[in-house]
Amino acid sequence: MARKGEIQIQNAPEDVISSVVFAPKTNQFLLVSSWDTSVRLYDVFNNTLRHKFFHSSPVLDGAFLDSVKTISGGLDNAVKLYDWNTQIEQTLGTHDAAVRCVEYTAMVNGILTGSWDRTVKLWDAREKECVGTYDQSAGKVYSMSCVEERLVVATSDRKVLIWDLRHMGNYVERRESSLKYQTRAVRCFPSKVGYVMSSIEGRVALEYFDPDPEVQKKKFAFKCHRAKENNVELIYPVNAISFHNGYNTFATGGSEGCVSIWDGFNRKRLCQYHLYDSSITSLCFSDDGSSLAIACSYMDEADNKPEPCPEPTLYVRSVTEQEVQPKKG
Protein backbone atom coordinates (compact mmCIF):
# COMPACT_ATOMS: atom_id res chain seq x y z
CA MET A 1 0.00 0.00 0.00
CA ALA A 2 1.33 3.42 -0.96
CA ARG A 3 2.12 5.87 1.85
CA LYS A 4 2.30 9.65 1.88
CA GLY A 5 4.54 10.94 -0.92
CA GLU A 6 4.24 7.71 -2.92
CA ILE A 7 2.12 6.30 -5.68
CA GLN A 8 1.61 2.62 -6.35
CA ILE A 9 1.95 1.91 -10.06
CA GLN A 10 -1.00 0.04 -11.51
CA ASN A 11 -0.71 -3.13 -13.66
CA ALA A 12 2.55 -4.29 -12.10
CA PRO A 13 4.25 -7.40 -13.52
CA GLU A 14 2.93 -10.79 -12.42
CA ASP A 15 6.28 -12.24 -11.33
CA VAL A 16 9.50 -10.98 -9.71
CA ILE A 17 10.47 -7.48 -10.89
CA SER A 18 14.11 -7.65 -11.96
CA SER A 19 14.82 -4.00 -12.82
CA VAL A 20 13.33 -0.51 -12.79
CA VAL A 21 14.89 2.33 -14.80
CA PHE A 22 13.75 5.91 -15.35
CA ALA A 23 13.99 7.37 -18.84
CA PRO A 24 16.82 9.90 -19.26
CA LYS A 25 16.10 13.47 -18.18
CA THR A 26 12.54 12.79 -17.02
CA ASN A 27 10.73 11.16 -14.14
CA GLN A 28 7.62 10.48 -16.24
CA PHE A 29 8.56 7.21 -17.94
CA LEU A 30 9.69 4.06 -16.18
CA LEU A 31 11.05 0.89 -17.80
CA VAL A 32 10.37 -2.32 -15.87
CA SER A 33 11.60 -5.85 -16.60
CA SER A 34 10.27 -9.00 -14.98
CA TRP A 35 10.49 -12.75 -14.58
CA ASP A 36 7.02 -12.88 -16.19
CA THR A 37 8.99 -12.38 -19.49
CA SER A 38 7.67 -8.85 -20.00
CA VAL A 39 9.35 -5.50 -20.52
CA ARG A 40 6.94 -2.68 -19.66
CA LEU A 41 6.88 1.08 -20.10
CA TYR A 42 4.86 3.06 -17.56
CA ASP A 43 3.71 6.67 -17.62
CA VAL A 44 4.22 7.58 -13.97
CA PHE A 45 2.42 10.94 -14.19
CA ASN A 46 -0.78 9.27 -15.39
CA ASN A 47 -0.17 5.96 -13.58
CA THR A 48 -0.74 3.97 -16.73
CA LEU A 49 0.94 1.11 -18.54
CA ARG A 50 1.83 2.59 -21.93
CA HIS A 51 2.93 -0.61 -23.61
CA LYS A 52 4.71 -3.93 -23.08
CA PHE A 53 6.48 -6.56 -25.11
CA PHE A 54 7.86 -9.99 -24.28
CA HIS A 55 10.96 -12.12 -24.36
CA SER A 56 10.60 -15.91 -24.58
CA SER A 57 12.04 -16.29 -21.04
CA PRO A 58 12.35 -14.20 -17.86
CA VAL A 59 13.94 -10.77 -18.37
CA LEU A 60 16.77 -9.86 -15.99
CA ASP A 61 17.63 -6.26 -16.92
CA GLY A 62 16.77 -3.31 -19.13
CA ALA A 63 18.13 0.14 -20.03
CA PHE A 64 17.29 3.20 -22.12
CA LEU A 65 19.36 4.14 -25.16
CA ASP A 66 17.42 7.38 -25.52
CA SER A 67 13.94 8.60 -24.65
CA VAL A 68 12.17 6.08 -26.93
CA LYS A 69 14.54 3.12 -27.44
CA THR A 70 15.43 0.49 -24.87
CA ILE A 71 17.61 -2.59 -24.62
CA SER A 72 16.85 -5.70 -22.56
CA GLY A 73 18.21 -9.15 -21.86
CA GLY A 74 17.42 -12.26 -19.86
CA LEU A 75 17.29 -16.03 -19.63
CA ASP A 76 16.64 -16.46 -23.37
CA ASN A 77 20.28 -15.27 -23.90
CA ALA A 78 18.98 -12.64 -26.35
CA VAL A 79 19.77 -8.92 -26.48
CA LYS A 80 16.66 -7.09 -27.68
CA LEU A 81 16.29 -3.53 -28.90
CA TYR A 82 12.79 -2.04 -28.77
CA ASP A 83 11.44 1.23 -30.17
CA TRP A 84 8.44 2.30 -28.08
CA ASN A 85 7.23 4.78 -30.71
CA THR A 86 7.11 2.36 -33.63
CA GLN A 87 6.73 -0.78 -31.47
CA ILE A 88 9.41 -2.46 -33.57
CA GLU A 89 11.45 -5.17 -31.85
CA GLN A 90 14.90 -6.21 -33.01
CA THR A 91 17.21 -8.93 -31.68
CA LEU A 92 20.76 -7.57 -31.79
CA GLY A 93 22.34 -10.92 -31.00
CA THR A 94 22.89 -13.41 -28.22
CA HIS A 95 25.19 -14.59 -25.47
CA ASP A 96 25.95 -18.25 -24.74
CA ALA A 97 24.08 -17.99 -21.42
CA ALA A 98 21.66 -15.63 -19.68
CA VAL A 99 22.09 -11.87 -20.13
CA ARG A 100 22.24 -10.61 -16.54
CA CYS A 101 23.13 -6.91 -17.01
CA VAL A 102 22.44 -4.23 -19.60
CA GLU A 103 23.91 -0.71 -19.72
CA TYR A 104 24.05 2.09 -22.26
CA THR A 105 27.23 4.17 -22.41
CA ALA A 106 27.17 7.56 -24.10
CA MET A 107 30.98 7.66 -23.91
CA VAL A 108 31.25 5.27 -26.88
CA ASN A 109 27.58 5.33 -27.92
CA GLY A 110 27.46 1.65 -27.11
CA ILE A 111 25.35 -0.99 -25.45
CA LEU A 112 27.04 -3.15 -22.83
CA THR A 113 25.68 -6.58 -21.91
CA GLY A 114 27.05 -8.79 -19.16
CA SER A 115 26.29 -12.50 -19.11
CA TRP A 116 26.51 -15.68 -17.11
CA ASP A 117 28.67 -16.92 -19.99
CA ARG A 118 31.50 -14.93 -18.32
CA THR A 119 31.69 -12.26 -21.00
CA VAL A 120 30.76 -8.63 -21.54
CA LYS A 121 29.78 -7.65 -25.07
CA LEU A 122 29.89 -4.17 -26.56
CA TRP A 123 27.31 -3.40 -29.25
CA ASP A 124 27.45 -0.43 -31.61
CA ALA A 125 24.21 1.49 -30.99
CA ARG A 126 24.16 2.92 -34.54
CA GLU A 127 25.18 -0.13 -36.55
CA LYS A 128 23.27 -2.53 -34.27
CA GLU A 129 26.09 -5.07 -34.19
CA CYS A 130 28.51 -6.58 -31.68
CA VAL A 131 31.92 -4.88 -31.88
CA GLY A 132 33.67 -6.69 -29.05
CA THR A 133 33.47 -9.63 -26.66
CA TYR A 134 35.50 -9.38 -23.45
CA ASP A 135 36.25 -12.33 -21.23
CA GLN A 136 35.38 -11.90 -17.56
CA SER A 137 37.48 -14.90 -16.58
CA ALA A 138 36.77 -14.18 -12.93
CA GLY A 139 33.27 -15.65 -13.21
CA LYS A 140 29.70 -15.06 -14.28
CA VAL A 141 28.68 -11.41 -14.53
CA TYR A 142 26.39 -10.67 -11.58
CA SER A 143 26.27 -6.87 -11.75
CA MET A 144 27.93 -4.04 -13.63
CA SER A 145 27.92 -0.26 -13.78
CA CYS A 146 29.62 2.39 -15.89
CA VAL A 147 30.40 6.06 -15.41
CA GLU A 148 31.93 7.87 -18.39
CA GLU A 149 34.98 5.80 -19.46
CA ARG A 150 34.96 3.37 -16.53
CA LEU A 151 33.12 0.06 -16.47
CA VAL A 152 32.97 -1.93 -13.23
CA VAL A 153 32.01 -5.61 -13.42
CA ALA A 154 31.26 -7.71 -10.33
CA THR A 155 31.43 -11.47 -10.82
CA SER A 156 30.28 -14.69 -9.21
CA ASP A 157 33.78 -15.42 -7.91
CA ARG A 158 33.78 -12.26 -5.76
CA LYS A 159 36.05 -10.48 -8.22
CA VAL A 160 35.70 -6.91 -9.49
CA LEU A 161 37.09 -6.02 -12.92
CA ILE A 162 37.59 -2.36 -13.85
CA TRP A 163 37.72 -1.56 -17.56
CA ASP A 164 38.43 1.56 -19.64
CA LEU A 165 35.78 1.75 -22.36
CA ARG A 166 38.19 3.60 -24.64
CA HIS A 167 40.75 0.77 -24.54
CA MET A 168 39.00 -2.56 -24.04
CA GLY A 169 41.98 -4.75 -24.92
CA ASN A 170 42.33 -5.78 -21.29
CA TYR A 171 40.94 -4.75 -17.95
CA VAL A 172 42.68 -1.94 -16.08
CA GLU A 173 42.48 -3.62 -12.69
CA ARG A 174 41.24 -6.80 -11.08
CA ARG A 175 40.26 -6.63 -7.42
CA GLU A 176 39.07 -9.03 -4.79
CA SER A 177 35.70 -8.02 -3.35
CA SER A 178 35.86 -6.43 0.10
CA LEU A 179 32.77 -8.45 0.98
CA LYS A 180 33.11 -12.09 2.01
CA TYR A 181 29.89 -13.30 0.42
CA GLN A 182 28.20 -13.27 -2.97
CA THR A 183 27.80 -9.89 -4.67
CA ARG A 184 24.28 -8.67 -5.38
CA ALA A 185 24.81 -5.19 -6.84
CA VAL A 186 27.50 -2.69 -7.85
CA ARG A 187 26.99 0.97 -8.80
CA CYS A 188 29.47 3.73 -9.66
CA PHE A 189 29.47 7.11 -7.95
CA PRO A 190 28.19 9.82 -10.33
CA SER A 191 31.26 11.85 -9.24
CA LYS A 192 33.47 9.07 -10.70
CA VAL A 193 35.54 8.61 -7.52
CA GLY A 194 34.62 4.96 -7.01
CA TYR A 195 31.81 2.49 -6.57
CA VAL A 196 29.55 0.90 -3.99
CA MET A 197 28.79 -2.82 -3.89
CA SER A 198 26.51 -5.00 -1.78
CA SER A 199 26.30 -8.66 -0.80
CA ILE A 200 23.86 -11.33 0.33
CA GLU A 201 25.22 -10.94 3.86
CA GLY A 202 23.76 -7.55 4.78
CA ARG A 203 26.87 -5.54 3.99
CA VAL A 204 27.81 -2.67 1.69
CA ALA A 205 31.34 -1.64 0.68
CA LEU A 206 32.51 1.75 -0.58
CA GLU A 207 35.56 1.57 -2.86
CA TYR A 208 37.75 4.18 -4.59
CA PHE A 209 39.30 4.02 -8.07
CA ASP A 210 42.42 6.02 -7.18
CA PRO A 211 45.19 3.52 -6.28
CA ASP A 212 46.99 6.06 -4.07
CA PRO A 213 47.47 4.41 -0.64
CA GLU A 214 46.12 7.48 1.15
CA VAL A 215 42.93 7.34 -0.90
CA GLN A 216 42.61 3.57 -0.43
CA LYS A 217 42.66 4.09 3.34
CA LYS A 218 39.26 5.76 3.01
CA LYS A 219 37.47 2.66 1.73
CA PHE A 220 35.24 0.84 4.18
CA ALA A 221 32.38 -1.62 4.53
CA PHE A 222 29.40 -1.49 6.86
CA LYS A 223 26.58 -3.69 8.10
CA CYS A 224 23.00 -2.88 7.09
CA HIS A 225 19.59 -4.42 6.39
CA ARG A 226 19.59 -6.43 9.60
CA ALA A 227 17.02 -6.91 12.32
CA LYS A 228 16.70 -8.59 15.71
CA GLU A 229 13.99 -11.10 16.51
CA ASN A 230 13.93 -12.86 19.89
CA ASN A 231 17.54 -11.70 20.44
CA VAL A 232 18.61 -13.34 17.18
CA GLU A 233 20.16 -11.15 14.49
CA LEU A 234 18.51 -11.65 11.11
CA ILE A 235 20.73 -10.79 8.14
CA TYR A 236 19.21 -9.92 4.76
CA PRO A 237 20.66 -9.68 1.24
CA VAL A 238 21.15 -6.14 -0.07
CA ASN A 239 19.69 -6.53 -3.56
CA ALA A 240 19.65 -3.01 -4.98
CA ILE A 241 21.65 0.22 -5.04
CA SER A 242 20.86 3.52 -6.76
CA PHE A 243 22.72 6.84 -6.65
CA HIS A 244 21.31 10.34 -6.38
CA ASN A 245 23.10 12.21 -9.16
CA GLY A 246 23.09 15.57 -7.37
CA TYR A 247 24.49 14.61 -3.98
CA ASN A 248 26.31 11.29 -4.55
CA THR A 249 24.23 9.81 -1.75
CA PHE A 250 22.68 6.41 -2.46
CA ALA A 251 19.73 4.20 -1.68
CA THR A 252 19.95 0.52 -0.77
CA GLY A 253 17.14 -2.03 -0.75
CA GLY A 254 17.12 -5.28 1.20
CA SER A 255 15.20 -8.52 1.40
CA GLU A 256 13.59 -7.48 4.68
CA GLY A 257 11.65 -4.89 2.66
CA CYS A 258 13.45 -1.72 3.77
CA VAL A 259 14.98 1.13 1.76
CA SER A 260 17.71 3.24 3.35
CA ILE A 261 19.45 6.39 2.10
CA TRP A 262 23.17 6.74 2.87
CA ASP A 263 25.83 9.45 2.87
CA GLY A 264 28.80 7.24 2.09
CA PHE A 265 31.51 9.88 2.42
CA ASN A 266 30.41 10.78 5.95
CA ARG A 267 29.45 7.20 6.84
CA LYS A 268 25.91 8.10 7.88
CA ARG A 269 22.43 6.82 7.21
CA LEU A 270 20.28 9.80 6.27
CA CYS A 271 16.88 8.10 6.50
CA GLN A 272 15.00 4.83 6.28
CA TYR A 273 11.61 4.43 4.64
CA HIS A 274 8.72 2.35 5.95
CA LEU A 275 8.66 -1.42 5.56
CA TYR A 276 7.47 -2.44 2.08
CA ASP A 277 5.41 -5.43 0.95
CA SER A 278 8.30 -7.83 0.38
CA SER A 279 11.96 -7.90 -0.74
CA ILE A 280 13.27 -4.81 -2.52
CA THR A 281 14.51 -6.15 -5.85
CA SER A 282 15.40 -2.94 -7.69
CA LEU A 283 15.73 0.81 -7.11
CA CYS A 284 16.23 3.77 -9.41
CA PHE A 285 16.50 7.51 -8.79
CA SER A 286 15.31 9.72 -11.64
CA ASP A 287 18.05 11.82 -13.26
CA ASP A 288 17.05 14.93 -11.31
CA GLY A 289 16.77 12.96 -8.05
CA SER A 290 13.19 14.04 -7.38
CA SER A 291 11.74 10.51 -7.64
CA LEU A 292 12.75 7.04 -6.53
CA ALA A 293 11.27 3.93 -8.14
CA ILE A 294 10.99 0.98 -5.75
CA ALA A 295 10.29 -2.59 -6.88
CA CYS A 296 9.06 -5.18 -4.36
CA SER A 297 8.88 -8.91 -5.07
CA TYR A 298 8.86 -12.07 -3.00
CA MET A 299 12.07 -13.96 -3.84
CA ASP A 300 11.55 -17.32 -2.09
CA GLU A 301 14.17 -16.41 0.51
CA ALA A 302 12.09 -17.18 3.60
CA ASP A 303 12.20 -20.63 5.20
CA ASN A 304 8.43 -20.59 5.44
CA LYS A 305 6.61 -19.21 2.42
CA PRO A 306 4.07 -16.59 3.52
CA GLU A 307 0.42 -17.26 2.81
CA PRO A 308 -0.88 -15.57 0.81
CA CYS A 309 2.34 -14.92 -1.10
CA PRO A 310 2.84 -11.17 -1.70
CA GLU A 311 2.21 -10.00 -5.25
CA PRO A 312 4.93 -7.94 -6.97
CA THR A 313 4.38 -4.23 -6.35
CA LEU A 314 5.88 -1.09 -7.80
CA TYR A 315 6.07 2.32 -6.16
CA VAL A 316 7.37 5.75 -7.12
CA ARG A 317 8.26 7.97 -4.19
CA SER A 318 8.68 11.75 -4.26
CA VAL A 319 12.06 12.45 -2.68
CA THR A 320 12.68 15.45 -0.41
CA GLU A 321 15.98 17.28 -0.05
CA GLN A 322 16.12 16.33 3.63
CA GLU A 323 16.12 12.65 2.70
CA VAL A 324 19.05 12.76 0.28
CA GLN A 325 21.19 15.82 1.04
CA PRO A 326 24.30 15.23 3.18
CA LYS A 327 23.98 16.79 6.60
CA LYS A 328 26.51 19.44 7.58
CA GLY A 329 28.60 19.07 10.67
Secondary structure of 98-121 as H, E, C letters: CEEEEEEECCCCEEEEEECCCEEE
In a domain, residue 329? The reply is no
Interatomic CA distance for residues 81 and 91, integer angstroms: 6
Q: pLDDT (tens digit, 9 = 90+) per residue, 115-161?
A: 999 999 999 988 889 999 999 987 999 999 999 999 999 999 999 99
How many domains does one find in the chain?
Answer: 1
Q: pLDDT (tens digit, 9 = 90+) per residue, 22-33?
A: 999 999 999 999
State the average pLDDT for the chain.
94
- Percent above pLDDT 70 for the chain: 98
Residue ranges making up the domain that contains 170:
6-323
pTM more than 0.75 = yes
In a domain, residue 284? The reply is yes
In a domain, residue 328? The reply is no
pLDDT score for 327: 87
Q: pLDDT (tens digit, 9 = 90+) per residue, 184-216?
A: 999 999 999 999 999 999 999 999 999 999 999
Of residues 227 and 78, more confidently modeled = 78
Interatomic CA distance for residues 188 and 199, integer angstroms: 16
In a domain, residue 18? The reply is yes
Q: pLDDT (tens digit, 9 = 90+) per residue, 156-192?
A: 999 999 999 999 989 999 999 999 999 999 999 999 9
Residues 6 or more apart whose CB falls under 8 angstroms from that of 278 comprise 257, 296, 297, 298, 299, 310, 313
* pLDDT grade for 302, boundaries at 50, 70 and 90: low
Question: Phi-psi region for residue 166, left (φ > 0), alpha (ψ -120 to 50) or beta?
Answer: alpha
* pLDDT grade for 329, boundaries at 50, 70 and 90: low
Find out whether 22 and 285 touch, Cβ atoms under 8 Å: yes
Q: Among 102, 109, 104, 134, which Cα is nearest to 121's? A: 134
Residues 6 or more apart whose CB falls under 8 angstroms from that of 170 comprise none
The answer on pLDDT for 1 being more than 80 is no
In a domain, residue 142? The reply is yes
Strands 29-34 and 38-43: antiparallel
pLDDT score for 316: 98
In a domain, residue 317? The reply is yes
Q: pLDDT (tens digit, 9 = 90+) per residue, 29-75?
A: 999 999 999 999 999 999 999 999 999 999 999 999 999 999 999 99
CATH of the domain at 96: 2.130.10.10
Interatomic CA distance for residues 276 and 316, integer angstroms: 12
